[in-house]
């Protein structure tokens, strides 16, 4: 399609904005509920629905409180969720992450019982399960530390298989270890989960925007930060290198995270890999910025949120993980 070369007054672009019906007809980007995924935080214990302070409207839920939540989602037409678990027991190697009776396997069983049609994506990482809060096996060297990449791969693979056995529909590794997709793909295949797709958090930045999430998932690093494994926000070419590796290793879908602050990255990845489904994670900090402005009366929530989510889709994301799924379901209904 060539560019419009007309000139005023023959050409008047305002004609196509004349009324709502015309605007709908020429709309390029659609936002629909089927493109959105809701994260849920599942906590050990019973009868818990604990508000997450920096994420208004979100809670840590115990497994016995899942029924009301899943029923609400069903009633709203929401069928896609991403699970994070907060286990009773944390240790240096995050052993609850691959415990068959651990928090996520228990939650998946419950969810599938209530709503077999629910698409359950399991986040595969260790920060919620380790006592030090890092995303893998930590080795201390005096004052410094290292997250051992290859030792972590072994555990990520165990976690992925464990969650697939529990009934997870999609495995989503988020720890930014090199080779994680290859290790998990190999492990899943050997365990006969050839049909289970991997959604890789291929492009994940060391962002300030995750801090409310760390309260929600109780995965605050007890020392240091994640800059030795997550990407530098200043880099863009590196995002394509991350994607190239993950695609070669067998990733079925890619993700960019955060989303709102990384629209240029979403666009570059989509242009490079047009045939791969691309997700974007509208993260906790991006959620709470909007919430805070709305609470102050400075932004109109519906207009602001639909605009931001549409912008993420327009940039090139095929689907979005966002804490706004319930509101969007009501607005689009
Ligand atoms: C864990 C993980 C994080 C998020 C998703 N998975 C936190 C982190 O990497 O520190 C952040 C999501 C959000 O902020 O909403 N690896
Ligand atoms: Zn992690």
If pLDDT is split at 50, 70 and 90, which confidence band does 211 have?
very high
Whether 7 is in a domain gets the answer no
Whether 13 is in a domain gets the answer no
| Ligand 1 neighbourhood includes 249 CB (under 6 angstroms) | no
206 with 227: CB under 8 angstroms?
Answer: yes
286's enclosing H/E stretch is helix 284-295
- Which residues have CB under 8 Å from 244's CB, separation 6+? none
- Residue closest via CA to ligand 1's atom 6 equals 174
pLDDT in tens, 302-324: 999 999 999 999 999 999 999 99
Q: What is the C-alpha to C-alpha distance for residues 135 and 127, in angstroms, rounded to an integer?
A: 4
Whether 207 is in a domain gets the answer yes
- Which residues have CB under 8 Å from 60's CB, separation 6+? 41, 42, 43, 48, 49, 50, 52, 86, 216
If pLDDT is split at 50, 70 and 90, which confidence band does 142 have?
confident
Q: What's the average model confidence in pLDDT over 48-71? A: 97
Among residues 74, 140, 190, 257, the one annotated as catalytic is 257
- Catalytic annotation present for 257: yes
Estimate the crossing angle of helix 180-190 against helix 237-249, to 10 degrees: 20
pLDDT at 2: 61
Whether 9 is in a domain gets the answer no
Q: What's the average model confidence in pLDDT over 30-52? A: 98
Question: What separation in Å is there between the alpha carbon of 174 and the centre of ligand 1?
Answer: 8
CA dist list (Å): 138 to 135, 147, 173, 227, 231: 9, 5, 18, 14, 19
Helices (H), the chain: 20-25, 66-76, 103-114, 149-166, 180-190, 211-217, 237-249, 263-272, 284-295, 301-315, 325-332
- Catalytic annotation present for 296: no
Q: What is the C-alpha to C-alpha distance for residues 276 and 137, in angstroms, rounded to an integer?
A: 31
Sign of CA dihedral 295, 299, 304, 308: negative
Provide the number of structural domains found in the chain.
1
pLDDT at 125: 97
CA dist list (Å): 186 to 46, 179, 252: 36, 11, 14
- Residue closest via CA to ligand 1's atom 7 equals 210
Whether 313 is in a domain gets the answer yes
pLDDT in tens, 237-268: 999 999 999 999 999 999 999 999 999 999 99
Containing structural domain, residue 75 = 31-332
Sign of CA dihedral 124, 223, 217, 215: negative
Whether 318 is in a domain gets the answer yes
Whether 8 is in a domain gets the answer no
**Statement: residue 143 has pLDDT above 90:** no
Q: What's the average model confidence in pLDDT over 35-50? A: 98
Question: What separation in Å is there between the alpha carbon of 319 and the centre of ligand 1?
Answer: 17
pLDDT in tens, 267-300: 999 999 999 999 999 999 999 999 999 999 999 9
Whether 39 is in a domain gets the answer yes
If pLDDT is split at 50, 70 and 90, which confidence band does 1 have?
low
Q: Over the chain, what is the mean pLDDT?
A: 97
Q: What is the C-alpha to C-alpha distance for residues 322 and 328, in angstroms, rounded to an integer?
A: 10
pLDDT at 110: 98
Which tokens is 112 given? 């599938």
Q: What's the average model confidence in pLDDT over 110-117? A: 98
CATH number at residue 138: 3.20.20.70
Q: What's the average model confidence in pLDDT over 131-138? A: 95
For residue 321, give the ligand 1 atom closest to its CA: 15
pTM of the model: 0.97
- Closest ligand to C-alpha of residue 130 is 2
pLDDT at 230: 97
161 with 187: CB under 8 angstroms?
Answer: yes
333's enclosing H/E stretch is none
């Amino acid at each position: 399609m060539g560019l419009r070369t007309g000139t005023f007054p023959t050409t008047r672009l305002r004609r196509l904005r004349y009324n709502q019906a015309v605007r709908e007809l020429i709309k390029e980007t659609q936002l629909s509920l089927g493109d959105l995924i809701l994260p849920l935080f599942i906590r050990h214990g019973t009868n818990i629905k604990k508000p997450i302070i920096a994420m208004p409207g979100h809670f840590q839920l115990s497994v016995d409180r899942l029924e009301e939540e899943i029923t609400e989602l069903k009633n709203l037409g929401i069928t896609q969720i991403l699970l994070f678990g907060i286990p009773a027991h944390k240790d240096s190697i995050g052993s609850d992450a691959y415990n068959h009776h651990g928090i996520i396997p228990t939650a998946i069983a419950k969810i599938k019982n209530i709503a077999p049609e629910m698409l359950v994506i399991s986040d595969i990482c260790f920060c919620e399960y380790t006592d030090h809060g890092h995303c893998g096996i930590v080795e201390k060297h005096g004052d410094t530390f290292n997250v051992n990449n290859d030792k972590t791969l072994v555990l990520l693979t165990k976690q992925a298989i464990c969650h697939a056995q529990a009934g997870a529909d999609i495995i989503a590794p988020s720890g930014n270890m090199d080779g994680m997709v290859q290790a998990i793909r190999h492990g899943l295949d050997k365990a006969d989960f050839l049909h289970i797709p991997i959604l890789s958090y291929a492009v994940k930045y060391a962002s300030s925007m995750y801090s409310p999430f760390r309260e929600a998932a109780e995965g605050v690093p007890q020392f240091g930060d994640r800059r030795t494994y997550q990407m530098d926000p200043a880099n863009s070419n590196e995002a394509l290198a991350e994607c190239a590796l993950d695609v070669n290793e067998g990733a079925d879908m890619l993700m960019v995270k955060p989303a709102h602050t990384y629209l240029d990255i979403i666009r570059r990845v989509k242009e490079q890999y047009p045939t791969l489904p691309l997700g974007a994670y509208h993260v906790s900090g991006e959620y709470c910025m909007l919430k805070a402005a709305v609470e102050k009366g400075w932004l109109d929530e519906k207009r602001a949120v639909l605009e931001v989510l549409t912008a993420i889709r327009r940039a090139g994301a095929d689907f979005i993980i966002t804490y706004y799924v319930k509101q969007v379901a009501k607005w689009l209904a």
